[in-house]
Structure 1
């Protein structure tokens, strides 16, 4: 049996706001892996790492972001990408993690990028699973401007309906649990900051400038992303996941885990 993660609750104060973070945590002989989930998802996106023997020696930290899953936040309206970065830093501090491998999906990929950009010396490797690095990546978050609604609940209901009808791998599955995983009051701050950062914060330059090994993972349904050849030419490893759209952890998890393991193993061998 692979070593199991422990379910923990951590009370934090992030930017003066109380947050009670629900996490999966395991210590290990090898460097820990920090997992950051995407919008509308939870730490359980990554829980199956416990079933993969290749990761047995690694420490693990995955948690529900404020406004998501079982994590509670006194003021969900305060949540945006900088708030999520500060939450990650607080979790790393309370878990006494100095250096780590970093895996982030979508919203979590953008959070991971901003975290790595601010503290590059702490990141051993970065697997970015369709996290925002260009304006074109705001196909979900830009809906906050393109499809406005009169209140948070109305926006969330309309967003779920659009996602359920999207002609993409796993979108109906993703949409089915959205109402149970995200507080509507947190959506505007998250989406607005994602769009602002994607449009104005030079994310591509930040990503390519990171000194650690980098892998960009994407579903083959999104192989038309305009920057893939560019980042590959700059030394970024590409991981195209077959039979997959934006959610490899739903559409093709065995291939996702295989590629993450290969990448981290090579990164450690090169250090």
Structure 2
């Protein structure tokens, strides 16, 4: 059994669209195609730290980082942190870490970021694992609350949002909600959510996802298996990965199955390269 090679911490000081950000990340050197992980709203890079426990992904280069305004990463203007801004951050982080072509895994907000990143330069992406990242208006069951439950006070909105998610009937909701105030700055929420809603409603995301040439997987929890677009994804050649005993958060509810499906796709995509 090979030893676990721990992830090393790094910090990057960047200027993105005129705004200063400090990005806190985890990385590992190695051989083969790098793995790039993008976390969801209210989560952090540590969602993916167990990559070091995955034998089938051993020795690969790894990159994960906190989005500005989330985790330890900071942003001089939290109101600037929209999804397009996060795509620009990803491009700069990849450049700074000298990663050109890669496998990308993105959850929720990170899945949408990964989709737009790949759509901007498809040649760079060896495979895309989209874990319930937005591709249609119905995916805004969390982000659309910025409209349906609007509040002038950002801290109050985040508190009430966490209460609603924590009281839901879905797997992982209470665990996720319990750490929200510690993982995302309230001042970043509005711009993130409004951009997610706008892109989901008007960005033709499903079409953009389907036309990506790289091997693609859409991962979703069994409690969300009524998503209306799943048949269209399957017909369009996207691999569907339904995770048992899970809703929106496979890394909390069923990580062994999540990691197994990610490793499967990465292995098959590498064999095609």
TM-score w.r.t. the length of structure 1 is 0.99
Query: Hey, what does 2:103 align to over in structure 1?
Result: 101
Across the aligned residues of Structure 1 and Structure 2, the Cα RMSD in angstroms comes to 0.6
User: CA-to-partner distance for each residue in 1:48-68, whole Å, 9 max, x for gaps?
Assistant: 001112111211000000010
What is the rounded CA distance, in whole Å, between the counterparts of 1:49 and 1:35 in structure 2? 10
Query: Hey, what does 1:166 align to over in structure 2?
Result: 168
What is the rounded CA distance, in whole Å, between the counterparts of 1:45 and 1:150 in structure 2? 30
Larger displacement relative to structure 2 (170-179 or 7-16): 7-16
| SS of residue matched to 2:220 | strand
Q: Kindly state the Cα deviation for residue 28 of structure 1 after the two structures are TM-superposed.
A: 1.3
Query: Hey, what does 1:82 align to over in structure 2?
Result: 84
User: CA-to-partner distance for each residue in 1:102-153, whole Å, 9 max, x for gaps?
Assistant: 1000000001101000011100000000000000000000000000112101
What is the rounded CA distance, in whole Å, between the counterparts of 1:185 and 1:199 in structure 2? 23
What is the rounded CA distance, in whole Å, between the counterparts of 1:234 and 1:57 in structure 2? 33
What is the rounded CA distance, in whole Å, between the counterparts of 1:27 and 1:17 in structure 2? 29
- The equivalences for 1:180-191 within 5 A come to 180-191=182-193
What is the rounded CA distance, in whole Å, between the counterparts of 1:55 and 1:4 in structure 2? 13
Q: Kindly state the Cα deviation for residue 2 of structure 1 after the two structures are TM-superposed.
A: 2.3
| SS of residue matched to 2:98 | coil
| SS of residue matched to 2:69 | coil
What is the rounded CA distance, in whole Å, between the counterparts of 1:187 and 1:24 in structure 2? 24
Q: Kindly state the Cα deviation for residue 191 of structure 1 after the two structures are TM-superposed.
A: 0.1
User: CA-to-partner distance for each residue in 1:225-251, whole Å, 9 max, x for gaps?
Assistant: 011111101110000000000000000
| SS of residue matched to 2:33 | strand
Query: Hey, what does 2:225 align to over in structure 1?
Result: 223
What is the rounded CA distance, in whole Å, between the counterparts of 2:179 and 2:125 in structure 1? 32
Match among 112, 126, 129 for residue 127 of structure 1: 129
What is the rounded CA distance, in whole Å, between the counterparts of 1:117 and 1:270 in structure 2? 20
Query: Hey, what does 1:7 align to over in structure 2?
Result: 9
Query: Hey, what does 1:32 align to over in structure 2?
Result: 34
Q: Kindly state the Cα deviation for residue 43 of structure 1 after the two structures are TM-superposed.
A: 0.2
Return 5+ residue gaps in structure 1 as ranges.
none
TM-score w.r.t. the length of structure 2 is 0.98
Return 5+ residue gaps in structure 2 as ranges.
none
User: CA-to-partner distance for each residue in 1:18-72, whole Å, 9 max, x for gaps?
Assistant: 1111100111111101100000000000000011121112110000000100001
